[in-house]
Amino acid sequence: MKHRFLKSLCALCLAPLLLTGCWSEDPEEPDSGQLLVSQEPAEPQQEAIILPADFTLPYLPGQTMDPVTCADGMQQVVGSLLYEGLFQLDEQLEPQQVLCAGYTYDPETYTYVFTLRAGVIFSDGSPLTADDVAQTLRRASASARYGERLKNVASITAGAGSVTVVLTGPGTGLAALLDIPIVKAGTESDAIPTGTGPYVYSAEDGPHLTANPSWWQSGSVPVETIGLSAAGDRDAMLYQFTSHDIQLITADLTGTAPVSVTGSISFQDADTTILQYVGFNTQKAPFDSAALRSALSLGVNRGSVVSAYLSGHGAAAQFPISPVSPLYPSELEETYSYDAFAAAMAEAGYAAGTARTATLLVNSENSFKVSAAEQIAQSLSAFDLDIQVRALPWEEYTAALAAGDFDLYYGEVKLTADWDLSALLGTGGALNYGGWSSAQTDQLLASCAAASDRGAALKALCAHLRQQSPILPVCFKSTSVLVQTGVVEGLKPTMSNPFYDLTACTIHLRETAA
């Protein structure tokens, strides 16, 4: 978790290659720009801390707050205070039970039975039922936001205090996919569906959130009332943030669409499942050679790339699992060594003095990716391989990937929290642009899906990937929560909830005369 003070910065949003579901806004069209960040703490005398009379969040007026269908960004931030899921992902991207009291899994029939927590009631006083959960999950399985992660769900049925989910095949990591917010059945068409969260929406005396007296967790919330300020678009939201009308926003600080805010602002990063990596075209020379791919994997100083070109907003990773996860096989990591890289390139036959040129594609709209790609290309061009970077507009970039018209590419993808890599690395996978196909890889992917010991299965997969290197993982990005300095204390944002561990948070307000 990073916590720094900024004097001015650009707040940028998620790149368009990502799946939806984060609380950062996704721009409709890619744009270019630079991040203007001061890494030094703001001096107190430069700008006094301004405490608000009320803590206020932005929202999109006239648009649904239904967590299954609402817009990314502002609505999701507000929704995180209104709704809860069967599970939530913690700071290590591990699922923790919320509305779920426990569950069983039958590996023979691929059947989960989730027992609901007793005593949970919605903000209108009605009890949470299995039908409420089942109906939300069914809607989610057909939605743009959650449909892909639930594609292996065959059926969802409600029972007496439990919900049964049957999969089409093995899947021991389903709990990590069920941080989907639950709403009361029959209210999903309301502008503000009914939830079980710590706050409830009220329109009396203007739109705002008020502490939910029926909240089952019965913990103390940081403030009784949270104001809502209408922001029709991102520019309006940022203007309100700069003018202190609102106190908290979320952003991807290394995305594609630059917008700037000024003043005494602090941010905290949340680790995500967003992987940045170098992909190889494994269907043609020279990257059909596992020896060359593995050698190149030794040639990237990932920590330096994150620090210098992502401004520290990420975590270096040698495997396609976030290093903050307890499932990450850190014992398989190799310390960066130029000598080891040189030896591997010589062994692969690329230190004989005969140069060969290759092209690395990157999305031109994202200056951070372009800079990272250029640095990686330079690092990997130390011997007989000369890698040139070609930055393409988004449509041309994705068309080239789909056609296999590339040698290497710099990619980004939001993985699911069960670390299912089949789309990226499985034969015929939707994101397997490099055409990698290996019976052993497919078998190891299947073993991960069925394993009761997921750590051991993922370790075996990663050991195989280190030898074959069908992709070159670089890092996992983080997203950020920006707040007015001095207003919020103890905030612990996660990938899917900017207000994770809400009861440990303190909000400081300006004292007003009685």
Q: Which amino acid, one-letter code, is at 407?
A: D
pLDDT of residue 511: 81
- Could you give the CA distance from residue 218 to residue 196 in angstroms, rounded to a whole number? 12
The pLDDT profile of the chain, 514 residues, written as one tens digit per residue, is 444 434 333 333 333 333 334 555 443 333 222 323 333 333 434 557 889 999 999 999 999 999 999 999 999 999 999 999 999 999 999 999 999 999 999 999 999 999 999 999 999 999 999 999 999 999 999 999 999 999 999 999 999 999 999 999 999 999 999 999 999 999 999 999 999 999 999 999 999 999 999 999 987 899 999 999 999 999 999 999 999 999 999 999 998 876 567 778 899 999 999 999 999 999 999 999 999 999 999 999 999 999 999 999 999 999 999 999 999 999 999 999 999 999 999 999 999 999 899 999 999 999 999 999 999 999 999 999 999 999 999 999 999 999 999 999 999 999 999 999 999 999 999 999 999 999 999 999 999 999 999 999 999 999 999 999 999 999 999 999 999 999 999 999 999 999 999 999 999 999 865 5
**Domains of the chain by residue range:** 62-211, 271-477
**CATH topology identical between 62-211 and 271-477:** no
DSSP state of 189: T
Question: What pLDDT digit, counting tens, does each position of 397-442 carry?
Answer: 999 999 999 999 999 999 999 999 999 999 999 999 999 999 999 9
- What are 507's strand-pairing partners? 488
Mark 451-477 as b/e (b = at least 16 C-beta within 10 Å): beebeebbbebbebbbebbbbbbbbbb
Nearest to 121 by CA among 194, 222, 211: 194
Nearest to 260 by CA among 47, 12, 3, 24: 12
Question: What pLDDT digit, counting tens, does each position of 243-270 carry?
Answer: 999 999 999 999 887 656 777 889 999 9
CATH number of 271-477: 3.10.105.10
- 3-state class (DSSP) for residue 278: strand
Q: Which amino acid, one-letter code, is at 22?
A: C
Torsion (CA) 39, 42, 47, 48 in degrees, nearest 10: 130
Cis check for the bond before 207: say yes or no (omega within 30 of 0).
no
User: Strands 225-230 and 408-414: what pairing?
Assistant: unpaired
| Helix H or strand E segment including 162 | strand 162-167
| Residue found under tokens 């003070």 | 5
**Which CATH topology does 62-211 take?**
D-Maltodextrin-Binding Protein; domain 2 (3.40.190)
DSSP state of 490: S
Length of the chain: 514
